[in-house]
Amino acid sequence: MNNFQSRAGGWLQIDLPAIAENYRRLRSHVGRNVSVGAAVKADAYGLGIAQVAPVLHNAGCRHFFVATVDEGVVLREHIGPDAKIFQLNGPMPGAENVVLAADLHPVLNSREQIAGWRHLAKQQGRPLPCVLQIDSGMSRFGLSEADIRALGADDALEGLQIELVMSHLACADEPSHPQNAAQLSRFRALRAHLPEASSSLAASSGIFLGPDFHFDLVRPGYALYGGNPVLGHPNPMRNVVTLHARLIQDRVIEAGTAVGYSARFVAQRPSRIATLAIGYADGLPRAAGDIATAIHPARPDVKLPVIGRVSMDCMALDVTDLGDMDLPPGTCFELIGTHRPLDDVASGLDTIGYELLTSLGRRHHREYIESSL
Ligand SMILES: *Cc1c(COP(=O)(O)O)cnc(C)c1O
């Protein structure tokens, strides 16, 4: 740990070569004719788009997905003009000019968004690139069957250069869910009424539903960042994120002594309690007490419970089971990482790893690992 990191309370390591390796793993999982894009919305799932996007670009990725126009504008500063940036939410009314100026391809989800983009194409006097989204059963984004019929009747796609037709799966993380096959066949059926263009349906979990779901382009996000795309099975991806919380002080308390706000935790035995410098302002939910566990790197076999209410800037860890092990101030405990897998931590907290990643606060000292050891 260098001098800069010595100040850290929370220490977040992001393994960039592991992201590149995960990109290559997904690429070798799909056929040669299938391109692998990358979802880098929400600041690359909280990991830092400025650092993550160039790594994916170097690994060969040329299709990037962001949610908002602002994210696309920032991403364009970090990757070359040879990469396509697709903006998933589509432009808000009046934002079309910004989308064009940053060379983004908007995903047009509604007849209104199509009309807005066509209007700009007409002003520009040339067809403008874009993506059409179909609602294949998630009722969130995209054109309905009635919309598609109406488009055909009004020639409403004139002036558009349609690069991609896409849809999104609601239940891909449950391979046996009947909605997967239903959405696949609905996507195929509706897609046939739209102009010829590349097609895309699968994100991380959809990739593992088999080649029928791959079409021309897959759009993983979570799996690139080490999340398990096949829940309940061994994770085929490499771990990317390690979160350490560092010890401020520790104490020994008698049985019957309370710990933390609301005195919610009361020791049942003489206990050794460590105060760690991460709290809910850093993305660890307030309710993680009595649920989450951490490990000391020298004793990964001993799960140490987070106890009581997590505070804004700190939390309490019951380290009794480490005995009288020397724990000097600054000692690191792993909260997320190879010993505490992201998906396990999240499911214990009744959420998903996506939410944990995107909630990681701004206060951690971030260390970007640049090359594999
Ligand atoms: C977020 C998102 C993705 C990536 O999803 P993951 O599950 O993280 O792989 C792909 N497509 C769309 C439309 C998305 O919103």
Residue 4 clears pLDDT 80, i.e. is over it: no
Residue ranges per domain, the chain? Answer: 16-225, 241-340
Strands (E), 55-177: 63-66, 84-87, 104-108, 128-133, 160-166
Angle between helices 49-58 and 16-29 (to 10 degrees): 40
Distance CA 41, CA 1 (A): 30
Q: What is the pLDDT of residue 330?
A: 96
Cβ neighbours, 10 Å, residue 156: 15
Q: Which amino acid is at 204?
A: S
Quick check: 207 and 220 in contact, CB under 8 A? Answer: yes
- Report which ligand 1 atom has the smallest distance to the Cα of 220: 9
Taking the CA atoms of residue 168, residue 169, residue 172 and residue 174 in that order, the dihedral angle to the nearest 10 degrees is 160
Cβ neighbours, 10 Å, residue 58: 12
| CA 67 – ligand 1 centroid, Å | 10
| CA 320 – ligand 1 centroid, Å | 42
Active site residue 122: no
Taking the CA atoms of residue 53, residue 62, residue 192 and residue 155 in that order, the dihedral angle to the nearest 10 degrees is 90
Q: Which of 2, 113, 9 is nearest to 331 (CA)?
A: 9
* Given the residues 41, 84, 225, 280, the one annotated as active site: 41
Quick check: 291 and 346 in contact, CB under 8 A? Answer: no
The first and second tokens of residue 361, run together, are 């606060």
| CA 65 – ligand 1 centroid, Å | 8
Ligand 1 neighbours by CB, cut-off 6 Å? 39, 41, 65, 88, 168, 203-204, 219-223
| Site to substitute for ligand 1 among 222, 342, 354, most atoms within 8 A of C-beta | 222
For the segment 9-27, the average pLDDT, to the nearest whole number, is 97
* Given the residues 23, 222, 261, 280, the one annotated as active site: 261
Q: Which of 44, 43, 1 is nearest to 19 (CA)?
A: 44
pLDDT band at 149 (very low <50, low <70, confident <90, very high): very high
Quick check: 221 and 203 in contact, CB under 8 A? Answer: yes
At the top level of CATH, which class does the domain 241-340 belong to? mainly beta
Residue 3 clears pLDDT 80, i.e. is over it: no
For the segment 78-106, the average pLDDT, to the nearest whole number, is 97
- Report which ligand 1 atom has the smallest distance to the Cα of 45: 8
Tell me: the pLDDT tens digits for 247-289?
A: 999 999 999 999 999 999 999 999 999 999 999 999 999 999 9
Q: Is the pTM of this model over 0.85?
A: yes
Binding residue positions for substrate: 140, 312
Distance CA 229, CA 169 (A): 13
* CATH architecture for segment(s) 16-225: Alpha-Beta Barrel (3.20)
For the segment 104-115, the average pLDDT, to the nearest whole number, is 97
* Percent of the chain whose predicted confidence (pLDDT) is above 70: 98
Distance CA 279, CA 357 (A): 15
Q: Which of 249, 313, 244, 307 is nearest to 277 (CA)?
A: 313
Quick check: 81 and 102 in contact, CB under 8 A? Answer: no
Binding residue positions: 140, 312
Q: What is the pLDDT of residue 147?
A: 96
The first and second tokens of residue 40, run together, are 């880098």
Distance CA 201, CA 131 (A): 13
Tell me: the pLDDT tens digits for 294-311?
A: 999 999 999 999 999 999
For the segment 12-23, the average pLDDT, to the nearest whole number, is 98
Distance CA 57, CA 80 (A): 8
- Report which ligand 1 atom has the smallest distance to the Cα of 354: 8
Q: What is the pLDDT of residue 5?
A: 72
CA of 33: how far to CAs of 25, 28, 197, in Å?
A: 15, 11, 15
Determine which residue's CA is closest to atom 6 belonging to ligand 1.
221
pLDDT band at 228 (very low <50, low <70, confident <90, very high): very high
| CA 33 – ligand 1 centroid, Å | 20
